[in-house]
Structure 1
């Protein structure tokens, strides 16, 4: 009995205290894509209009669309993921209530020489019911890339898969900081 008490108290001391945090995209990985696409699109449109080549001007819309879609990856001051007493924050969702989170886990996969890491958040109910504070965002942002995907599960539950490999923080650190809030 005494050994069991020691194990529990040792586990409690190794668990970090919950500290609010936010993390955004790793801008260094995406600046080339966004700004390169923007420059290429502007160049195609300008040459197409000046040279009276309408097909080239129309072709310039594709790289401009890519730059528009991926703009959140270079946007300053926009956290994509965070945690506080209010819940788990996910950009364009808001705060998910801690009581609605059943499980959090990090999944790693490799594609060629790239490691892809995602945070799986299994909810006890639907996402709409799990949101404690919904985030409002402008309509024009609906076509832009988001860092998460929701998947319906059995019994009205949902799985939120959040990409961590695109964020500017260590995935294991993010998971430990989230679990510090979840198990308080």
Structure 2
């Protein structure tokens, strides 16, 4: 038998790692809404117990307010649902879907402070209205449309839209989220 020496050449298929930007998605931090949701449920339950078992029927009706507040803020404790992400399809925003990369004019962070709390938003300027910029719309249950969301859109005078996405409630440093989003944006 012949003894052949083979040098280990770099095999492009040996490591099936993706080159370039990595897809990612971030959700809410665990503590971003627990106090308001669980607090609302406890107050609502307390009002119901006092109203029904304490002989104060109007107190049971007051339970509607904290229970509605807890329902409104429920998405804040759903940490498994992605709120923002990026991949080849575009910029993902929960309850919008994927916004086409070609529809994004500008991305930047905006920081404001309320007392000692720093609020950070991702400001996204679009080249056209949001409805036209969405390449893949996200389908979600109808009941989620009455709950809080992590973004707001505003129509500008030129007919394009501006999207503001809150990052301070998301699981990750805002600067890193912006860097990962910008890694996908075409030059």
Q: How far apart, CA to CA, are the structure 2 residues paired with 1:169 and 1:17?
A: 20
Equivalent position of 2:110 in the other structure? 107
5+ long unaligned stretches in structure 2: 1-18
Q: Are the equivalent residues in 2 in contact too, given 1:151–1:158 (CA < 8 A)?
A: yes
1:183 shift after superposition: 2.9
Secondary structure of the corresponding residue to residue 32 of structure 2: helix
Q: Which of 77, 84, 87 pairs up with 1:84?
A: 87
CA RMSD of aligned residues (A): 1.3
Q: How far apart, CA to CA, are the structure 2 residues paired with 1:27 and 1:44?
A: 27
Q: How far apart, CA to CA, are the structure 1 residues paired with 2:50 and 2:114?
A: 37
> 1:29-71 CA distances to partner (integer Å, 9 max, x unpaired)?
3212111111111111122111231221111111101110000
Q: TM-score scaled to structure 1, two decimals? A: 0.88
Q: How far apart, CA to CA, are the structure 2 residues paired with 1:141 and 1:29?
A: 18
Larger radius of gyration: 2
Q: Are the equivalent residues in 2 in contact too, given 1:117–1:163 (CA < 8 A)?
A: yes
**Structure number having the greater helix percentage:** 1
Q: Where has structure 1 moved over 4 Å in runs of 4 or more?
A: none
> 1:143-167 CA distances to partner (integer Å, 9 max, x unpaired)?
1000000000122100000000111
Secondary structure of the corresponding residue to residue 95 of structure 2: coil
> 1:77-123 CA distances to partner (integer Å, 9 max, x unpaired)?
20000000000000000000000000000000001010000000000
Q: Which of 71, 84, 87 pairs up with 2:74?
A: 71
Equivalent position of 1:36 in the other structure? 39
1:146 aligns with 2:176: no
Equivalent position of 1:159 in the other structure? 162
Equivalenced residues, count:
169
Equivalent residues in 2 for 1:44-63 (5 A)?
44-63=47-66
5+ long unaligned stretches in structure 1: 1-15
Secondary structure of the corresponding residue to residue 120 of structure 1: strand
Q: How far apart, CA to CA, are the structure 2 residues paired with 1:17 and 1:153?
A: 34
Secondary structure of the corresponding residue to residue 152 of structure 2: strand
1:75 shift after superposition: 1.2
Q: TM-score scaled to structure 2, two decimals? A: 0.87
1:171 shift after superposition: 0.4
